[in-house]
Each structure stands twice: as C-alpha cells, then as structure tokens.
Structure 1
Amino acid sequence: MSHLGRKILNVVPMLLVFSLGFFMGMISDSKFPNFYIPFVPPMPSPALPLPQLPVSSQSPPLQPIPPPPPSLQLQVAEVMRFLVPKSAMHNMTDEELFWWASMAPKVRSMLFHRVAKVAFLFLTRGNLPLWPLWEMFFNGHDGLYSIYVHTDPSYTGSLPEESVFYGRIIPSQKMMWGDMSLVAAERRLLANALLDLSNERFVLLSESCIPLYDFPTVHAVLTGSNTSFVDSFVNHDSEVRYNPFFADRSNITLAQWRKGTPWFEMDRALAVEVISDDTYFLAFREYCAVQPACLMDEHYIPTPLSLIGWMHNANRTLTYADWRIGEVHPQTYGRDDVTEDLIRKIRGGAGSGRNCTYNDGANGTCYLFARKFAHDALEPLFRLNPKVMGFG
C-alpha cells in the first residue's frame, strides 16, 4: 500500500467523527427538535490488524488502523433515544414528514436485536374516554407497541404523565366527518409511525374502539401474519359515489372502484405505499373539495389497492362494527348492552356473514377489535375484562 493510502486510512476515523458531530448538530439545532432519526448508525467493530504484506525497505512498516474514538462507540440504547422520543410532537410540515417516512431500508438485517412492534393509531375528535381499558391492555408489554394519537387541534385535555398515552399526540389538523381530511389524518398517523423502524404492523382505531383479546394474542396474530387486513370489495350500492372525474383525473375506472371500512390493520410495506401516493390522494382530495360529505374515506385506500394489484391483503378488517341497523353510523353499545355474550359473539364474527378462516396467519380469528362503545360502557367492560378479554 502506498504512503498516501496509509494516510487516507488514518484520517477516516477523524472524518467519521466530524461527520457524525456535524449531523447531530444539525438535528439538535434544526427546527425538528424531536425528530426521530430514520436509520440506525452502524455499530463500530473492533480494529483488526492489517495483513502482513511484504514492504520495501524504503517504506515505513504498516501500522494497524487505530480504533475509533469513544465518541463513535454508539450504544443501541442511545440510538433508540432518538428513534423513539417520549413526545410525538415535532415541527415538520406534512411534506417533510411524508418525505422522511417514505424511506424504506433495503437491507433487512439489523445490527441489533429488534422485536417487531405494533403501532396503534388512534383517530379521535378529542379525548379518549376508554383510555383506562387500553391502559390495562398495554400494561406490562413495553417495547412491543407504539401509540400515536391524532385529535382535533383545539383539544387541550391531558392525561397523567404515567399514562401510556402521555405525549403521544402528533401534530394534528382539523377533521370533518365524511371528508378527505379524515384520510389525510390517517396518512399523517401512518407517516409518524413509520419513522420508528421497529413498527411492523399498523392498526387504525377510534376513541370508541376496544380490544377483544389480551395484548399477547393481538401482537401474535398481527406480527405472525404475512398479509394486511384492509376492507376492499366491490359494492354496487357504492357505485353512486363513483364519478367520471376519477377516470379523467387519475384513470380510475368503475371496474376498479372499491369500498371498505377505513379501520385497517396493515403491514409496513403497504403503509409505505399509502403515504407515498401522490397521485390518487390528490384526485380524491380535489373531488371532495367540491363535493361536501363525499365519504371518500370508505374508498380511498380500498380503491388504490385494486389499482396497484396488491396481493398481500385479506380483503377484510379485524375491527368489528355492526352495520345491520341501516344507519350512516354503526350500532353504539352502551352500559346496558355490554355482556359476556355480546363480546363472545363479536369475537366469533356474529352477524358478519363472513368466513373468518383465511390462509393469512390470522388462524381463523375474525376480529381483534370492536367499535362503537360509549363512555358509559367502561364499567361493565372492566367487570368482564378478566373473564372474557383476559387482561387486567
């Protein structure tokens, strides 16, 4: 090796230190003080002696590369401090957020042991009236889940610092029922959750949702599945919502038009596809701008799934809702409705008319979550919880 080559090798550690310090300085001084670094810096390996190659008498003996300085000895715990901050707030715009979140690592192997986490995305209008039940559900399972809450920007409530929901509200924007602002909120939740590389499954929930099983069961079903669970089906009654505008604006034909409940459970690959879409989302948003209560939240994700030919989808949701009452909203369960029989029937797919046995890793499980449950249903849910749902 030439004398110049040895000099280059000797300055590499110094360049690494300078680059790392410069990058971390940008992060700490930028307008993104709580930003999660969307990658893990490589763990340095011990310095190894160079092979003893023949050298000329005119050249100085080869020296081993010096070990990296202590500042490069990054520990996983320190890296994770940046990856998963206590507060979910940041100062990024949606454009910046979606750009960072759309990055997908190509190397699947990790430099440290990583357990797949489930990201629970709560889309709410204000507070979380059933939060004590969810606290019991999450209790004792730190490191296996992440929580993100999108609420109305006017909401000023708070929860105790010891709550798992404390600090988990993301930068939120105004939402309206039946409007594309709901879809924008869903994408915003997904994008924030994608910044944590340990999140492998993503579940959209409302403030009226409850878990039907204990956490280990829910985690095992979701992380053990090789498909997503997104409602996407042909519904001829929904054809009245199709407009030729979609064909002109984004080549969506009536044959590709799909409907489904917006309460999804999806994997990371599909989540990246959803937040990276800058074609269909814009078309849907333009349409809703001139069509109040367009109800496109029931069509936006299901329709692009058919357009891109996504194969890894069970075409069903794992979140139960009873639409048999024939209203614009599903059945709401209050204090007097919550019984052991109700929970067991919901878990078994009562009234769904569907075969819940799929080759998708769900092992015949019909539903993991259910809605809509009123605030006054909390007490009977607490009472039934240990016997029926199995946690608490």
Structure 2
Amino acid sequence: MRSRGEKDEHLFRDSSIGLMRLLFVLILFVIGIIIGLISSSHIDRYFTSQPPNFYMNSYISAAPAPSHSYSYKKDSSYDHNDQNCSTESAMCKNQDCLSMESFRMPKNLTHKMTDKELFWRASLVPDKPEYPFRRVPKVAFMFLTRGPLPFRLLWERFFRGQDVNKYSIYVHSNPGVELVFPNSSVFYGRRIPSQDVRWGTVTLVDAERRLLGNALLDFSNERFVLLSESCIPVYNFPTVYKYLIGSTHSFLQSYDDPSRYGRGRYSRRMKPDIKLPDWRKGSQWFEIQRTLAIKIVSDTRYYNIFRWYCLPSCYPDEHYLPTFVNMFHGTLNANRTITYVDWSLGGPHPASFQAENITENLIHHIRNNGTTCSYNGETTSVCFLFARKFKPNALAPLLRLPSTLLGF
C-alpha cells in the first residue's frame, strides 16, 4: 500500500509528463506553420518572377483546339467576310483597334453581327452633346440593289473630286450576287454583310434597316439616302449636300390612301397597337436624318407587328415606315420624297426610262415639272434630287450629257 504522499508524488509526475508532451506537440505545430509560410513565399516569388507568357502558354497547352464549325451558307460574300475578319484581327495586334478613330468611323464594313446585335449597337446615342473630334456631317448614300450597279460610272462622276469627309457609301445586295469594283472606285469595299431580299416581303424592310444600322456606326453620318440600282442623281454633289444637310426635316412620303391599295391592305389583327386611321402608305425611297434613323433601328414592337400581319399583298416596304413615322415622329418629317418617279402611265408600276428617253429636256423636266414643295417652311421648286427607274441601257446617253447640265 502506497502512502498518501507517494500517491500525490506519482500524480504530480504523471501530470508533468502530460504537460511536457502537450508543449512538445504545440512546438511542432508552430514549427510546421513557420515552415509552411516560408515555403509558400518561395513558391509565390517563383511564379511571379516568371514572364507573362508563362500563364498564356500554360493556358494554350491545356485548352482544346478551336472548332471551326461555322454554319454560314457557302458563297463568295461570306468567304470574303471571313478573310476580312482574319485580316482585321491580325491588324489589331499591331494597332489600337479600340481607338477613337476606329470607334467613330469603322473603315472595314465586314462584321459577323446578327441584325439584333447590329441594331442594338446602332441605337447607342452619346449622352454628351459635344464631340471629342472635329465632326463634319456626312450624307450616307445607301444602295439597295438586286444585282450589279449599272450606273456605277455615273455615280463615280458624281462623287469625283468631292470631299471624302462629306459622304459615305453602303451597298446591300443578295449574297449570291458578285460585285466586283476596282480599287479606285468609291464603291470598293463598301458592301455590307447582306441577306436575301424578296420583293413584296418584310425582307425589304430588313435590308433598309440593315443599311441604316451599318451607316449609323459612323458617328459622322447625319443624313441617310436610300437608293436603288436604277436611281441617278439629277443635281451635282454640292447641291445635294447643301440641300440635305441644311434641311430641318426628313423626306419620307406618308399619306392616307382610302383605296384597296392603301387602307385595303390593313389587317385588323394589328389592333390595338395600329388602328386603321393610323395606317399610311408611301414610297420606299426615303431620305432621313440621324435622329429618325436611330428611332427606326430601335423599333421592335411595331416592326414585329408588320412582320406578323403585313403579309403578301400588303407590301411592308410601302407601309411600315410611313405608318411608324406618322404615328410617333411626324414632326421630324417633311412628308414627301426627293426621288422622282413617273406615274403618268398609270398601273401598279412607274414608267421606265430607256436609252431613247435620255435627253437634256428630260433632266430639265425632272427638275422643274411644275410642282412646288416646302423646304424649311418656305416654298421651293427644287423638290427632287434623284430620279429612278432608269434601264441599264440609259447609261451611255447619260454619260454623254454635257457636264454643264448635270454639274458633274
């Protein structure tokens, strides 16, 4: 039997041994933490001392190879777009592709934006009223063509010698159409990414909006003229530029036609958004200011109504813009067209001008046909700047007209 003192001494010895073991474990734990911190700092120093390409090379080696499974229709326009996009990407490695210059005035019209993406970007409006660059207002000449441009040589004479900071050119044609322009042509490289267009369908409106969307990407474009391959100018560039830039209104025809060719095309399914008294008709060939162009590409609601309910025999290109602009932006519009067309023969289509019709008297008649119109609140006899429905064989006699008549 141990005495009480022996028991206390034994308990004290056991507790001392336990405390020493605990202290030893704590010391090992602290030493482990210190070693870990020192090792971590060495690792961080190693990686941060590596060149920047270390991370990129590691990423590239681990990443899967890119897949080129684009589903674009095989045609020359898309091959051209792919090539231009590759070239543009290569250029961005050597220059600042996000510079103010490239942002305010894209020089390469090739892109792969969808219409939805294009219209969203085109609808952007700067909040600051002043520009961080010297802005010379330009006129955007937008050609909506089914095939080649038969009057290219006449238009090139029209633009020859003019200030390139005052105009820009855009061409929309069906993807299957091959447009070849020499490097010296003002039309060279001015074709926008285009889609198929069918007469009498909403695809015509799509093409108009697509032209506006691409032209709006250039912040210097202030006026926008829609032209066809059969259009010609009847005044020189300085006259056209001064007339359009100086106008306080857009030129888009919009009127109420009570006949079956007007109100007769209205669909009751458009109510309540569009009522019969709102329904308007007008020429497809317009000239509008930038503010109105932004409103048009920004519209989704009323465009969709026309896409759903203005079906064949309705002709959306004759009703969508006249109705939309009249309903919401009528104060911006002069409510007339500046593109002359001859309806004297009657019928659903205007008269065409053949080679034998081209005379000096014809140009004088288009300019002064007895009509007057309003320009900035005043009456004028200068109502038409362009004319249309000229056949390709009219080019040669048009080029033979004296320059003193046309002014170019």
Shorter-chain TM-score: what band? Answer: 0.7 to 0.9
2:113 is the counterpart of 1:92: yes
Aligned partner of 1:163 in structure 2 is 185
Aligned partner of 1:67 in structure 2 is none
| Alpha-carbon offset, residue 171 of structure 1 | 0.8
2:131 is the counterpart of 1:110: yes
Deviations 1:63-105 (A, max 9, x none): xxxxxxxxxxx9x9x6434543443221111111011000112
| Residues 127 and 113 of structure 1: CA distance in aligned 2, closer, same or farther (over 3 Å) | same
| Alpha-carbon offset, residue 307 of structure 1 | 1.3
| Residues 150 and 360 of structure 1: CA distance in aligned 2, closer, same or farther (over 3 Å) | farther
1:325–1:331: 8 Å Cα contact kept in structure 2? yes
Amino acid at match of 1:324: S
2:388 is the counterpart of 1:388: no
1:356–1:364: 8 Å Cα contact kept in structure 2? yes
Please report the TM-score for the alignment, with normalisation by the length of structure 1: 0.76
Amino acid at match of 2:227: L
SS at match of 1:166: coil
Of the two, which has the highest radius of gyration?
Answer: 2
Q: Structure 2, unaligned stretches of length 5 or more?
A: 1-81, 89-95
Aligned partner of 2:48 in structure 1 is none
Aligned partner of 2:203 in structure 1 is 181
Deviations 1:241-288 (A, max 9, x none): 11101114xx21111111100100100000001110001100101114
| Alpha-carbon offset, residue 121 of structure 1 | 0.5
Amino acid at match of 1:378: L
| Residues 360 and 374 of structure 1: CA distance in aligned 2, closer, same or farther (over 3 Å) | farther
SS at match of 2:332: coil
2:296 is the counterpart of 1:274: yes
Amino acid at match of 1:175: V
| Alpha-carbon offset, residue 325 of structure 1 | 1.5
Q: Structure 1, unaligned stretches of length 5 or more?
A: 1-30, 37-73
Amino acid at match of 1:244: R
Aligned residue pairs total 318
Amino acid at match of 2:156: E
| Alpha-carbon offset, residue 236 of structure 1 | 1.0
2:327 is the counterpart of 1:307: yes
SS at match of 1:216: helix
**Alpha-carbon separation, structure 2, partners of 1:149 and 1:112:** 27
Aligned partner of 1:221 in structure 2 is 243
| Residues 309 and 112 of structure 1: CA distance in aligned 2, closer, same or farther (over 3 Å) | closer
| Alpha-carbon offset, residue 358 of structure 1 | 3.2
SS at match of 1:311: helix
Aligned partner of 1:284 in structure 2 is 306
**Alpha-carbon separation, structure 1, partners of 2:87 and 2:324:** 30
Q: Which structure: greater helix fraction?
A: 2
Q: How do 1:314-353 residues align onto structure 2 when only pairs under 5 Å count?
A: 314-350=334-370
Supply the RMSD in Å over aligned alpha carbons.
Answer: 2.5
Aligned partner of 2:10 in structure 1 is none
Amino acid at match of 1:348: N
**Alpha-carbon separation, structure 2, partners of 1:198 and 1:34:** 27
Aligned partner of 1:245 in structure 2 is 269
**Alpha-carbon separation, structure 2, partners of 1:379 and 1:192:** 32
Deviations 1:195-240 (A, max 9, x none): 0000000000000000011101000000001100000111112111
Q: Percent identity?
A: 50
Please report the TM-score for the alignment, with normalisation by the length of structure 2: 0.73
Which ranges of 4 or more aligned residues in structure 1 deviate by more than 2 Å?
31-36, 78-87, 291-294, 357-364
The range that moved more, 259-268 or 150-159, is 150-159
| Residues 106 and 136 of structure 1: CA distance in aligned 2, closer, same or farther (over 3 Å) | same
| Residues 160 and 82 of structure 1: CA distance in aligned 2, closer, same or farther (over 3 Å) | farther
| Residues 35 and 177 of structure 1: CA distance in aligned 2, closer, same or farther (over 3 Å) | farther
| Alpha-carbon offset, residue 181 of structure 1 | 0.4
2:252–2:288: 8 Å Cα contact kept in structure 1? yes
Amino acid at match of 2:265: R
Deviations 1:300-337 (A, max 9, x none): 00001121142021100100011222232211101000
- The one of 182, 193, 208 equivalent to 2:215 is 193
